[in-house]
Homo-oligomer: A and B are copies of this chain.
Amino acid sequence: MKFELFYWPEIQGRGEFVRLALEDAGASYRDVAREPQGMKQMQALLAEQRGFAPPLLRAGQLVLAQTATILHWLGPRLGLAPANEAARARLNQAQLTIADWLTEVHDTHHPIASSLYYEDQRPEAKRRAQLFLRQRLPKFLDYFAASARTTGRISYVDLSLFQMLEGLRYAFPRAMRRLERRQPRLVALHERVAQRPGIRAYLQSERRLPFNQQGIFRHYPELDA
Contacts and interface: CB of A to CB of B under 8 A. Distances in A.
A86 B147 CA distance: 29
A128 interface: yes
- Assign chain A's interface to a size class: 35 or more
Q: How many copies does the complex hold?
A: 2
B49 A64 contact: no
B147 A49 contact: yes
Interface in A65-89: 65-66, 68-69, 72-73, 85-86, 89
A204 to B, nearest CB: 32
A30 interface: no
A170 to B, nearest CB: 23
A127 B49 CA distance: 29
B147 A131 contact: no
A113 B92 contact: no
Interface string A187-205: 0000000000000000000
5 contacts: A49-B147, A52-B97, A66-B93, A69-B92, A113-B127
